[in-house]
């Protein structure tokens, strides 16, 4: 294998012509194409959808795993040996983490898609779009549990979306 040589020009000729375009975001403003603001550079609603969903999924996975760990340690306190305690704790972590991560990821996906559609329809991005996107995503997420659960979920998601939008607007130059 040591006799194999690679020509960098043939592997990635675009990299030698000034760099890869999709990696260069220094000159771009943060936010969506509709004038919204975010904490990271964005090229549009698809970036917001991917980054928002992924970040929220990972946060839910982490929080759910921590909750599952606490639950597992509590349940396994009377275990006869360390192997049983470890097994019980790991089972609780893997039961809670992915469930909460998946739920939050789905809500984030619906939220980002709905907010992008509202932004495009209204032609601007503001707190009201976030509130409406949060309410719609919460209602859709819990729509199969009945109207009361959907309304409660809509209120909670709208509140979280509004708080997030206000938090972001205080840290950006909007």
Task: Give the DSSP letter string of 8-73.
Answer: HHHH-GGGGGT--GGG--TTSPBS-TTS---SSB--SHHHHHHHHHHHHHHHHHHHHHHHHHHHHH
**pLDDT at residue 152, rounded to an integer:** 96
Contact criterion met (CB below 8 Å) for 89 and 71: no
> Minimum mean pLDDT among 40-44, 120-124, 127-131, 134-138: which range?
40-44
Q: How buried is residue 6: exposed, middle or buried, by Cβ count under 10 Å (0-12/13-18/19+)?
A: exposed
Strand partners, 10: none
* Mean pLDDT, range 136-149, rounded to an integer: 94
- On the question of pLDDT at 139 being above 90, the answer is yes
- For the question of whether the overall pTM of this predicted structure is more than 0.75, the answer is no
* Mean pLDDT, range 134-155, rounded to an integer: 95
> Minimum mean pLDDT among 16-20, 75-79, 85-89, 135-139: which range?
16-20
**pLDDT at residue 173, rounded to an integer:** 63
| 82-122 and 147-171 helices, crossing angle to 10° | 80
């Amino acid at each position: 294998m040591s006799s194999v040589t690679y020509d960098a020009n043939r592997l990635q000729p675009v990299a030698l012509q000034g760099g890869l375009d999709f990696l260069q975001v220094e000159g771009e403003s943060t936010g969506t194409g509709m004038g919204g603001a975010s904490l990271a550079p964005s090229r549009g609603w698809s970036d917001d959808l991917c980054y928002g969903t992924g970040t929220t999924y990972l946060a839910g996975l982490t929080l759910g795993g921590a909750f599952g760990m606490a639950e597992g340690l509590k349940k396994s306190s009377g275990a006869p040996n360390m192997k049983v305690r470890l097994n019980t704790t790991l089972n609780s972590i893997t039961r809670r983490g992915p469930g909460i991560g998946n739920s939050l990821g789905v809500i984030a996906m619906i939220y980002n898609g709905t907010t992008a559609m509202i932004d495009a329809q209204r032609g601007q991005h503001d707190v009201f779009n976030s509130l409406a996107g949060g309410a719609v995503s919460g209602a859709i997420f819990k729509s199969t549990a009945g109207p009361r659960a959907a309304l409660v979920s809509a209120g909670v998601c709208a509140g979280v979306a509004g708080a997030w939008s206000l938090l972001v607007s205080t840290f950006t130059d909007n």
